[in-house]
Homo-oligomer: A and B are copies of this chain.
Amino acid sequence: MSRADRYLKACKKESVDCTPVWIMRQAGRYLEEYRAVRAKHSFIEVCKTPELVVELTLQPVRRFEIDAAIIFADILLPLEKMGIDFEFTKGDGPRINNMVQTRADVEKIRAINPMEEMAYLMDAIRMARRELGGKVPLIGFSGAPFTLASYITEGGGSRNYVFTKSMMYREPDTWHLLMEKLTDMVIVYLNDQIKAGVQAVQVFDSWVGCLSQADYREFVLPHQKRLMASLDKSAPHVHFAFGASHLLTLIHEAGGDVIGVDWRTDIDAAWKALNYEPCIQGNLDPVALYGSREYIKRRVAEILDKVGNKNGHIFNLGHGILPTAPTDNVKYMIDIVHELSARK
């Protein structure tokens, strides 16, 4: 078996020669070859130039023995054609200039046709598949409706989600209309990515951990369930929610062939709580990569021991890799996952 097969086999709970590993945000600033590209092109310019997207997508595959590539993109890209005006500011992350906070704002949001309106990404997916030549599979992704809703109601990242939750708590009908429109978009966006060639899709619900269980059930679950059920079944669906150990069973109820968990969830207790039904992805703390080799090895071994080489585990960090992560330790982690999990 080789890097070509491990990830997709693990997503179907088939047996593998060792545990597959990839890294959220693996095409990112911690790589000097990424910084070299970005020194010449703005973030948005890179996103919209298929050749550059392919270059960034392939960089970590060349450098490390990772078992999957993920197409380089940003979760906010599809919002542009929906009528949301945003920009990527230096250091501060995304800023949305026309925040969505009223019924009228929500009504103005347009449906999109990603295959045509985001041809730059679909072209990049086709080119990346060709360039990869079957070496490793290609993952596509989208932000989840809640996470996208939080960005456009808050105008960017948030600490307390006051605008997002205020809409939920004061104007539930407006909230549900917003979620409906975003869910419609994510469905067609991911299905178009699958048509273009991605072999698995991951839904990132990065900020949904701010909700109580009751709020998730009332304001998110119906939409997320419809989303997960509407995705093309030819590619495995990965459902990742950050900081959401308290929402685990609800995330599973919403759906996903693979459930991603962060480092604050005990990975085997979580998997057991889900009756080992889905596959599980995770869950090393991204900051562990700043530790000593001894520390990294110990934590990797702990995770692998917990899941006990059961089929259906995909190793990953519990969140995106940080821009200052030491690449030597990244390589060490990837290699040690393969070594320690080699099936006898």
Q: Which residues of B contact A292 (CB under 8 A)?
A: 169-170
Assess whether B166 is in contact with A211, with CB atoms less than 8 Å apart.
no
Residues of chain A in range 251-272 having any CB-CB distance to chain B below 8 Å: 263-266
The 8 A CB mask of A278-296 against B (1 = contact, 0 = none) is 0000000111101110010
| Other-chain contact of A211, B264, B295, B324 (Cβ < 8 Å) | B264
Give chain A's interface residues, CB within 8 Å of chain B. 160-162, 165-166, 168-170, 209-215, 243, 245-246, 263-266, 285-288, 290-292, 295, 299, 302, 322, 324
- How many of these chains are in the complex? 2
CA–CA, A169 and B293, complex, Å: 9
A-B pairs with the 8 shortest C-beta distances? A169-B291, A165-B287, A169-B295, A166-B290, A212-B263, A246-B264, A245-B246, A170-B292
**With known contacts A243-B243, A245-B246, A246-B245, A285–B162 Cβ distance under 8 A:** no
Q: Which residues of B contact A322 (CB under 8 A)?
A: 160, 162
Assess whether B290 is in contact with A165, with CB atoms less than 8 Å apart.
yes
Assess whether A162 is in contact with B266, with CB atoms less than 8 Å apart.
no
Assess whether B166 is in contact with A285, with CB atoms less than 8 Å apart.
no
Minimum CB–CB distance from A290 to chain B (whole Å) comes to 4
**With known contacts A160-B322, A214-B299, A245-B246, A264–B169 Cβ distance under 8 A:** no
Q: Which residues of B contact A263 (CB under 8 A)?
A: 212
Nearest to A211 among chain B residues (CB) is: B264
Q: Which residues of B contact A286 (CB under 8 A)?
A: 160
Nearest to A298 among chain B residues (CB) is: B214
Q: Which residues of B contact A265 (CB under 8 A)?
A: 246
Assess whether B209 is in contact with A170, with CB atoms less than 8 Å apart.
no
**With known contacts A160-B322, A170-B292, A295-B170, A285–B165 Cβ distance under 8 A:** yes
Minimum CB–CB distance from A109 to chain B (whole Å) comes to 23
Minimum CB–CB distance from A284 to chain B (whole Å) comes to 9
Minimum CB–CB distance from A297 to chain B (whole Å) comes to 12
**With known contacts A213-B266, A214-B299, A264-B212, A161–B287 Cβ distance under 8 A:** yes
Assess whether A302 is in contact with B214, with CB atoms less than 8 Å apart.
yes
Minimum CB–CB distance from A268 to chain B (whole Å) comes to 12
Minimum CB–CB distance from A48 to chain B (whole Å) comes to 28
CA–CA, A161 and B322, complex, Å: 11
Nearest to A289 among chain B residues (CB) is: B169
| Other-chain contact of A162, B170, B214, B245, B290 (Cβ < 8 Å) | B290
Provide 29 A-B residue pairs closer than 8 Å at the C-beta atoms, listed in order of the A residue: A160-B286, A160-B287, A160-B322, A162-B287, A162-B290, A162-B322, A162-B324, A165-B285, A165-B287, A165-B291, A166-B290, A166-B291, A169-B287, A169-B288, A169-B291, A169-B295, A170-B290, A170-B295, A210-B264, A212-B263, A212-B264, A213-B266, A214-B299, A214-B302, A243-B243, A245-B245, A246-B264, A246-B265, A246-B266
